[in-house]
Amino acid sequence: MNASATVRLAPGVRLHQEEGGVAFLLIPEGVVELSPTAVAIVELLDGARTLDDVTQLLAERYDASPDELRSDVDQLCAEFRSKGYLR
Amino acid sequence: MTNAPRPLSLLCEITYRCNLQCPYCYNPLNLAGYRNELDGDTWRRVVNEAADIGVLQVHVSGGEPTLRPNEAIGVVEAASARGLYTNLITQGTFLDDALLDRFITAGLEHVQISIQAPEAKLADRIAGTNVHEKKLVAIERVMKRGIAFTLNCVIHRANHDMLPQVIELAERLGVRRLELANTQFYGWAFENRAWLMPTRAQVRAGERIVAEARERLAGRMQITYVLPDYYEEFPKPCMHGWGNAFMTVAPNGDVLPCPAAASITSLHFDNVRERPLREIWESSDAFVAYRGTAWMPEPCRSCERREIDFGGCRCQAFALLGDAGATDPACAKSPHHGVIAAAVEERPPETFVPRRMQTTTPS
């Protein structure tokens, strides 16, 4: 996906987080368990931040290199968009 | 003894009554056996008990759930109060503005409306009554509210060639999510299997049509299209494992591991009127029977896919082989796979048996 693209959870899709780091995406026909990495990314997708912004924020938060994170962000967003979780 | 997994989804079948007579309905044939329906207070209790054991999502269905609007809305209210996701599965013929308002106020998050075909003539023949135009009005009404919406069309031999027109209709309506659901052969659909079974040519064409539409509509419309398992090499991962994540409460309060499970007459199903939902989920005979992989016979037991498709569907194994503990014959590795091949070749009858409350007239 384009680094300047902006996405957010699609209508009818909602993030559900529980104590202990357990998290799920609630979608119209089901429940999808999310990894901690996926949660960190999804939380930042507000429809205003670009994928580049999200990568930068995560790099600062986890003290990691943006280059490594970029492919995580890109892959997850591409996959979730093709499944209709993101718009 | 509780190494039961956490349930995530609850299907509330508010009633099996319906004003339509679709021959592909998965509901049981003995609809009249479910007239002793749970009251609204019991439904609210069931939802709260489900939330207590980890359920995150509640589907409200039937039959036609809006035939009991107060009970259906009560379920949505109780679920929303606990933060659960709510989905109404309806054919839409009673969904006027006032009723829709009540559902939305109660916290409803998603609506699914099904159509029978992309045009009234066939749709109304399938439904057994003139409802197609009414459904289109309901769909537009729901979409105007901005509530998340999925258009569903159950696919079978009689409407399979109309897939392009179904997709076109969804486009015209501005639908973002379209579910093209191949008929699952349970209940009434099993009774009508030969009439409903698509041909191999139809299935092949369907794959092409859907692939083309997905590409053309990427980013605008999400299309779900699951191939009929009679034409697949491997069985479907039914319910993602028996008693693993899903449960259904039937109109009379019976708790089922799968919406079609009541057809398995070799099992006894416990009822929410008599036992707490937690107990039924964790340790009732029916839920324990096929949970995990220990129950599996060969070829499932040693199969590398045993935790991918979980041996397929218990209801299908029972319906086709009389043994709910057998490998789903839809699997190409099943020694009884021949019954699937034979069903696909069966000659379709002239017409279908409409879904009705009383079918068994004593002869």
C-alpha span between B121 and B159 (Å, rounded): 11
CB contact under 8 A, A11 and B148: yes
Counting residues of chain B whose pLDDT is more than 70, the rounded percentage is 98
Q: CA B4 → CA B48, B109, B214, B246, B361, distances in Å?
A: 19, 29, 38, 12, 43
Q: CB under 8 Å to B207, separation ≥6 — which residues?
A: B225, B227
pLDDT class of B363 with cuts at 50, 70, 90: very low
CB contact under 8 A, A31 and B150: no
Per-residue confidence (pLDDT) for residue B357, from 0 to 100: 82
* Residue B238 pLDDT > 90: no
B292: tokens are 């995990």
Dihedral sign, Cα of residue B245, residue A30, residue B196, residue B336:
negative
pLDDT class of B59 with cuts at 50, 70, 90: very high
More confident residue, B271 or A1: B271
pLDDT class of A68 with cuts at 50, 70, 90: confident
Closest-CA residue of A relative to B88 is A28
pLDDT tens digits, residue range B285-332? 999 999 999 999 999 999 999 999 999 999 999 999 999 999 999 999
Question: What's the complex ipTM?
Answer: 0.93
Cα angle value B264/B234/B289 (rounded, 5°): 30
Which of 79-138 (B) contact A at CB < 8 A? 83, 85, 87, 109-110, 112
CB contact under 8 A, B56 and A26: yes
CB contact under 8 A, B56 and A81: no
How do strand B9-13 and strand B57-61 relate by DSSP bridges? parallel
Closest-CA residue of B relative to A33 is B8
Peptide bond into B28 cis (omega under 30): no
DSSP state, A19? G
Q: Average pLDDT of chain B?
A: 95
Q: CB under 8 Å to B216, separation ≥6 — which residues?
A: none
Report the pLDDT averaged over residues B4-25: 97
Count how many residues are written for chain B: 363
Q: Which among A34, A43, A46, A37 is positioned nearest to A7, based on CA atoms?
A: A46
Q: CB under 8 Å to A86, separation ≥6 — which residues?
A: A7, A8, A9, A10, A13, A45, A77, A80
Cβ atoms of A6 and A85 closer than 8 Å: no
A6 in helix, strand or coil?
strand
pLDDT tens digits, residue range B321-345? 999 999 999 999 999 999 999 999 9
pLDDT tens digits, residue range A4-46? 889 999 999 999 999 998 999 999 989 999 999 999 999 999 9
CB contact under 8 A, A10 and B176: yes
pLDDT class of B1 with cuts at 50, 70, 90: very low
Query: What is the identity of the amino acid at B143?
Result: M
Determine which helix (DSSP H) or strand (DSSP E) holds A78, and give its type and residue range. Answer: helix A66-82
Query: What is the identity of the amino acid at B312?
Result: G
Closest-CA residue of B relative to A14 is B85
Burial zone of B227 (CB within 10 Å; 0-12 exposed, 13-18 middle, 19+ buried): middle
Per-residue confidence (pLDDT) for residue A53, from 0 to 100: 94
The three state secondary structure string of chain B is CCCCCCCCEEEEECCCCCCCCCCCCCCCCCHHHHCCCCCHHHHHHHHHHHHHCCCCEEEEECCCHHHCHHHHHHHHHHHHHCCCEEEEEECCCCCCHHHHHHHHHHCCCEEEEEECCCCHHHHHHHHCCCCHHHHHHHHHHHHHHCCEEEEEEEECCCCHHHHHHHHHHHHHHCCCEEEEEECCCCHHHHHCHHHHCCCHHHHHHHHHHHHHHHHHCCCCCEEEEECCHHHCCCCCCHHHCCCCCEEEECCCCEEECCCCHHHCCCCCCCECCCCCHHHHHHHCHHHHHCCCCCCCCCCCCCCCCCCCCCCCCHHHHHHHHCCCCCCCCCCCCCCCCHHHHHHHHCCCCCCCCCCCCCCCCCC
pLDDT tens digits, residue range B76-90? 999 999 999 999 999
Main-chain phi, psi angles of B241, to 5 degrees: 100, 135
Closest-CA residue of B relative to A87 is B219
Candidate from A43-47, B101-105, B139-143, B235-239 with smallest mean pLDDT: B235-239
CB contact under 8 A, A11 and B177: no
- Tokens 């709260």 locate to B48
> Which of B9, B57, B151 is best to mutate for the A interface (most A CBs within 10 A)?
B57
DSSP state, A50? E
Q: CB under 8 Å to A9, separation ≥6 — which residues?
A: A15, A25, A42, A45, A85, A86, A87
The torsion defined by the Cα of B60, B32, B357 and B135, in degrees rounded to 10, comes to -10
